[in-house]
Chain A
Amino acid sequence: MEYTNLAYVLAAVLFILGIKKLSSPKTARTGNAISSIGMLIAIIATMVTFEVLDFKLIAIGMVIGSIIGATFAIRIEMTQMPQMVAIFNGFGGGASALVAAAEFFTIYGTSEQTMFLTGTIIISVFVGTLTLTGSFIAFGKLQGFISGQPIVFTGQQILNAFLALTVLGLGTFVTISGMPEMNMFYGVIIIAAVLGITLTLPIGGADMPVVISLLNSYSGIAAASTGFVLMNNALIISGALVGASGLILTNIMCKGMNRSLANVIFGAVGLQNDSSGGDVKEISYKSSTTDEVAMIMDAADKVIIVPGYGLAVAQAQYAVREVAEQLEAMGKKVLYAIHPVAGRMPGHMNVLLAEANVPYEQLKDLDEINPEFEDCDVAIVLGANDVVNPAARHDTSSPIYGMPILDVDKSRTVIINKRTMNPGFAGIQNELFGFDNSIMVFGDAKEMLTDLYKDLKEL
């Protein structure tokens, strides 16, 4: 037992070192390898000390899990990374819930069943199950199995409040009563599963970065509370690390939208009829073609590229890199502006562009890039909308008022590529499109960039 705990301490140290090495892209890959070695040590130590009952059974489980996990990891497209992380969160939460439930069945009715133990089991099962179903709904939305629009029905908030109170009551009763009906325990599981679904359904696609971060945090909390159930340091430390990580990312994402967590979870922003407030003005805009854009760019010294979710949908990451390299070959300075909530998860755009071999030094975050727009000749916005809407700065009635935005409108010329004039997720028109220095180029981002590349070459 002593040696196992030593091994767990070692594993925890390796996890911490591994995450620490994520502070720079240069050392990050080594860091990930260090974490995985930590995991291996924890697993081996557990297998050895607990003289596992049926080694074969566990081996079979691990082989099945490895095949499924590896298949996902190898085959997933970089654009699908958000749904991949979502579903893995779900499995993590589910595993913690199952472990806690197994412990409950074992101690039920024995002298080992203390109030503390039952209480932590209830928390693990609740958080883990909620993470499992919530993550599957998030996966479904991102993958397009379920509508990405918020799904709401009347009385939803009341239903959620009712479910939350019921589960709180049931959980407390099961914990205090000592010998509860087994059905009450099942009740907690079922309500947790339903809550995971009803809390995730009303959340719109653009709010997904917050939800995925939050579910990430939950999967950590579930692991930590399972650690309390088993009195196991490895689970407690790792769970705490993951929980903290998810909370920090959730906070960054909320700040990126200037919204509170409560507003994201209960606000259902993105309903077309809810937020536009009836005053949809027709915007008169100029539209143009790629050959004119190529000529404008030819005269520029500095070009800033602003990628959004539209870039991911169009799989245009390689096309944008080709254009950027062509511009650099023509002697122009090229930078990328990355908004914290661009895409569907934290860092989504960075991974996509890294896949297309864009050097990470060229990717600038909000604070770094905004001063750069002042002397920027051309800003090109690709499938982003709300993150460049100047209304966030001055229009107090706008649902995105106060959200930090990329100041693209300060550039001499702004090229905006969109498929159509349809408004973004918040259902509001973007006044930027009507500005004197704005030019719209309609079409699929990938096709538009491929054409632009050809036009630039032909200059």
Chain B
Amino acid sequence: MDMINILTVFILAIFIGFEIITKVPPTLHTPLMSGSNAISGIAIVGAIIATKIGSEVGTWLGLIAVIFATINCVGGFMVTDRMLKMFKRK
């Protein structure tokens, strides 16, 4: 994949982000943070690739990254769900 393609994807994603996130009401700002935080745990994909890319140091750093990113994903999605199920109407 070349530079321009990947930059296009990045810039378009930022615009989409701004569009959809401005529509989140203030009452859901905490779940938005913890939920988007869980999404930043996507680093786990990078971490899995890193364990494979060769050097031994890379493997170990990748493993620690897997642990960190899993904490982020699992914890983030679970706590967001816990919060969201509390939001009730009358």
If over half of A's interface residues share one DSSP class (helix, strand or loop), that class is named, otherwise mixed; here it is: helix
- Chain A residues whose C-beta falls within 8 Å of the C-beta of B76 in the assembled complex: 69, 73, 88
Interface string of A262-286 (1 = CB under 8 A from B): 0000000000000000000000000
Residues of B within 8 A of A89 (CB): 37, 40
Find out whether the CB atom of B65 lies under 8 angstroms from the CB atom of A351.
no
Given A16-B16, A53-B51, CB of A94 within 8 Å of CB of B68:
yes
Given A52-B52, A102-B62, A350-B29, verify A95-B44 contact (CB < 8 Å): yes
B residues in contact with A224, CB < 8 Å: 10
Q: Is A288 in contact with chain B by the CB < 8 A criterion? A: no
Q: How far is the CA of A219 from the CA of B69 in the complex (A)?
A: 11
Q: Which residues of B contact A235 (CB under 8 A)?
A: 42-43, 45-46
Knowing A24-B25, A70-B74, A85-B33, the reply to whether A46 touches B48 (Cβ < 8 A) is yes
Asked whether any CB of chain B lies closer than 8 Å to the CB of A148, the reply is: no
Q: Which residues in B have their C-beta under 8 angstroms from that of A242? A: 17, 36-37, 39-40
Partner of B27, one of A8, A51, A236, A350: A350
Binds B, one of A27-35, A295-303, A420-428: A27-35
Chain A positions within 8 Å of B, measured between CB atoms, are 8, 11-12, 15-16, 18-20, 22-26, 28-29, 31-33, 35-36, 39, 42-43, 46-47, 50-54, 57-58, 61-62, 64-66, 68-70, 72-74, 76, 78, 81, 84-85, 88-89, 91-92, 94-96, 98-99, 101-103, 105-106, 116, 212-213, 216, 219-220, 222-224, 226-246, 248-249, 252, 338, 340, 345-348, 350-351, 354-355, 357, 359-361, 363, 365
In the A-B complex, list the 10 residue pairs whose CB atoms are closest, starting with the nearest: A65-B70, A244-B17, A69-B75, A347-B29, A240-B13, A61-B66, A69-B74, A346-B29, A73-B78, A347-B30
